[in-house]
Each structure stands twice: as C-alpha cells, then as structure tokens.
Amino acid sequence: MHLSNPGVPFPPPFLFAAGFLAGLAIERWGLRLRVEAPELRLLFVLLGWVGIALGLTFTMWGLLTFLRARTAIIPTRPARSLVVAGPYRFSRNPMYVGLTALYLGIALLFNVAWPILLLPIVLSSLYLIVIRREERYLASAFAGDYAEYRRRVRRWL
C-alpha cells in the first residue's frame, strides 16, 4: 500500500515544546530540582550554550538540506525525494538530534531538571507518533532506496 504522506498529526517540534513546558510547569508547582553546587554552575552554562549551538546548527543544516532538495519539511505533506545528503549522511533524523541537543542545552543553561527527566518520554513519543509513521511512509514511497539507506545510516548518530 502506497501512503500519500507520513500522516504525522502535528509538527514534531511540538513534542519537544510540550515536554519542556510540562517540565517547567512541574518546576513552577514547587517540585524544583536544581543543581545548587556553584562550582558546577559555570560548567552547566557552558554545556548549555554548546548544546544550543550544536542543536541549532544541526537542525538548521537539516532544514536547509530539505529546502535545497525541494522536498516537504512538514511531515503532513508528501516527500518529493529521499534526502541522503548533508547531515542525512550521518543520521536519518538529524533535525530531531538537533532539537534534542537544543532542548538539553536550554535546560542546562537555565538549571531546570524536570525537562531533562521528561526527555525520555518526549523521545519515546517522538518515536511512536512521528518516526515510525515517517519510516513507514518512506519505505512505501521510496522502497528499495530507503531500505538501502536504512542499512547504511543510523537513526540518531
């Protein structure tokens, strides 16, 4: 059966935003988890900025690669081509890797632990709701080419 699009019900960054906002809500309700050791604060700030920089770089690189290929970025639309260039040579999901690094970087920078604790739920939801649908669609739309690409390139890094 050939699918017309991945059938993802919403833009995937919404999952990251929802997880982060849920973590901030828990923090706000008084269940604060923060590192109180001043000697680690500078390290967290530096790691936070590194995560933000890497996350933005990887996400934007993935987006620009899709734009150059003139294929759909939003997974509710059909893909015109299988993108295997740029960061897609190293990861089947570089934009999600970038969003994960960005999410962690912001949490470290602002010293909020709940979003980090909720990240496994975000990533599990991403896999179940988004990635499985995208992969099913790509296997349908690009059959042998996608199967070969999956054998050659890992999902994350």
Please state, in angstroms and rounded to a whole number, the distance separating the CA atoms of residues 151 and 2.
Answer: 21
- The domain limits of the chain are 47-73+81-157
pTM comes to: 0.92
Task: Output the average pLDDT for the chain.
Answer: 92
For 25-62, give the DSSP string.
HHHHTT-------HHHHHHHHHHHHHHHHHHHHHHHHH
- Reference 78, options 155, 140, 1; nearest CA is 140
Residue 1 has pLDDT above 60, yes or no: no
The predicted-structure confidence for 24-51, as pLDDT tens digits, reads as follows 999 988 787 776 778 888 999 999 999 9
Q: What is the pLDDT of residues 78-90, one digit of tens each?
A: 889 999 999 999 9
Residue 2: what pLDDT? 62
- Assess contact for 97 and 12: CB atoms under 8 A: no
Rounded Cα distance between 137 and 9, Å, is: 14
What does the pLDDT read at residue 83?
A: 96
**pLDDT given for residue 76 in this prediction:** 80
| Residues making up the chain, counted from first to last | 157
Q: What's the pLDDT tens digit per position in 122-143? A: 999 999 999 999 999 999 999 8
